[in-house]
Amino acid sequence: MDTVKYLKQMTVIMAVSFIGEFLNRVLPLPVPGSVYGLVLMFLLLVTGLIRSEQVEDAGGFLVKIMPVLFIGPSVSLITVMGGLADRLVPILAVCILSTMAVMAVTGLTAQAVLKRRAGRERSGLRDEPEEREGAAGREEGGKREE
């Protein structure tokens, strides 16, 4: 029964969200409840206390519609525009340039670390070669999509 399945999955997701927000309230750290919840859900899945089939249908739907949640905050731009009109261009420039910097530094650092390890593996230290093959296969898949 689909109804029961979705109801169960939503219950699990809401329970984890509830515990996350609860931890945010009782622990004195500046960590949002959603992040506690994410970590908790991850731990529940890793330890096998929850199987991914028990949350993935409702969870997949929530992940897919996530951009809808940002419409409200995005539209709030019209409330702050007026007061910042004269400094809008530099503010936008900071946002855009630093986003490019973060993307470049993060991506290239990751790629450099991954390449170094791939090089080491090729030169004889093949401990777990099958996982790297999986990643290479995905790379090809990504190219075909484009």
Footprint of other proteins on 10-39 (CB under 8 A): 13-14, 16-17, 20-21, 30-35, 37-39
Nearer to other proteins, 8 or 39 (CB): 39
Among 7, 22, 62, 119, binds other proteins (CB under 8 A): 62
Q: Which residues contact 19 (CB under 8 A, 6 or more apart)?
A: 36, 37, 40
Among 6, 111, 122, 126, binds other proteins (CB under 8 A): 111
Helix 2-26 to helix 56-64 angle (10° resolution) is 70
Residue 86 near other proteins by CB under 8 A: no
Residue 99 near other proteins by CB under 8 A: yes
In the chain, the amino acid numbered 79 is: T
Q: Which residues contact 112 (CB under 8 A, 6 or more apart)?
A: none
Q: What is the distance between the alpha carbons of residues 38 and 19, in angstroms, rounded to a whole number?
A: 10
Q: Which of 92, 82, 20, 16 is nearest to 54 (CA)?
A: 16
Among 6, 84, 119, 120, binds other proteins (CB under 8 A): 84
Among 6, 11, 27, 93, binds other proteins (CB under 8 A): 93
Nearer to other proteins, 7 or 14 (CB): 14
